[in-house]
């Protein structure tokens, strides 16, 4: 009862309900949800509370397995090393923190006063840990399928991004082959601008051949911006070069 009282003082039931709506999950045991949101600094000031480190430990494993299964099924042609790298991109601290920001997770954390005033709601370690703890709480409160559905919902944009990046290499390799065929030279890429907040960056890239800018492209990652520039350059080649001079992949 003391623990519940302390929690209720710092966050209203409406706020917890709001987070559940964002997650698309209704908890049977809201104490698990509260524990997932509890930073150790809060425990230091409110000793009956329980910090989220143990849930974070479980959540790391749950999230890793869900994403490993997703990548395994989506990319049957990829080797273990490629799948491992893709999963690492999704679950690294910076990626998890960015995803946590998109759902406003920092607003729901139970933090000690000192941690809160020092910007604790925006710290990548706090956000990433709480997100993993949330998945553990969902798994323990609900079931595997509910957790998987929540992960797929929250990671939807990032899964789509790595899929685009997986295919974006085609544009760059096709452009390089075409330019080697036509001019015996390879292009280079340069990021010339970036804008937007950390969770929604936009990059602008240019593709250059012999100091001449062939095209520019934009994307939510440097890789996607370069691929977009390569795509635009390929389209320009198709329009301007005689078909008889193009390699088979462009003619």
Active site residues: 60, 132
Burial of 40 (0-12, 13-18, 19+ CB in 10 A): middle
In the chain, which residue ranges form alpha helices assigned H by DSSP? Answer: 2-10, 13-23, 30-36, 40-45, 53-74, 80-91, 93-102, 113-117, 124-141, 144-154, 156-183, 222-240
Cβ contacts of 43 within 8 Å, gap of 6 or more: 49, 50, 51
Q: Among candidates 55, 23, 57, 13, which has minimal Cα distance to 37?
A: 55
What is residue 92's DSSP assignment? S
Q: Any residues with CB less than 8 A from the CB of 100 and at least 6 apart, and which? A: 106, 127, 128, 130, 131
Contacts of residue 181, Cβ cutoff 8 Å, sequence gap at least 6: 246, 247
Coil/strand/helix, residue 220:
coil
Return d(Cα 209, Cα 183) in angstroms, integer: 9
* Phi/psi of residue 212, nearest 5 degrees: -110, 130
């Amino acid at each position: 009862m003391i623990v519940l009282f302390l929690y209720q003082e710092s966050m209203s039931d409406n706020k917890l309900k709001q987070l559940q709506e964002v997650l698309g999950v209704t908890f049977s045991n809201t104490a698990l949800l509260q524990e997932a949101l509890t930073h150790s600094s809060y425990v230091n000031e409110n000793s009956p509370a329980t910090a989220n480190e143990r849930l974070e430990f479980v959540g790391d494993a749950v999230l890793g397995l869900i994403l490993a299964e997703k990548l395994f099924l989506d990319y049957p042609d990829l080797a273990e090393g490629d799948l491992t790298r893709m999963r690492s991109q999704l679950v690294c601290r910076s990626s998890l923190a960015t995803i946590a920001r998109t759902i406003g997770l920092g607003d729901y954390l139970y933090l000690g006063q000192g941690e809160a005033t020092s910007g604790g709601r925006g710290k990548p370690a706090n956000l990433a840990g709480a997100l993993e703890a949330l998945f553990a709480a969902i798994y323990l409160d609900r079931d595997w399928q509910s957790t998987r559905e929540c992960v797929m919902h929250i990671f939807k944009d990032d899964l789509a991004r790595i899929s685009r990046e997986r295919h974006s290499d085609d544009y760059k390799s096709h452009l390089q082959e075409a330019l080697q065929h036509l001019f015996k030279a390879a292009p280079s890429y340069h990021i010339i601008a970036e804008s937007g907040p950390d969770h929604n960056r936009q990059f602008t890239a240019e593709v250059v051949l012999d100091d001449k800018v062939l095209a520019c492209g934009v994307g939510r990652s440097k890789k996607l911006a370069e691929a977009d520039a390569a795509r635009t350059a390929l389209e320009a080649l198709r329009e301007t070069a005689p078909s008889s001079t193009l390699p088979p992949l462009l003619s």
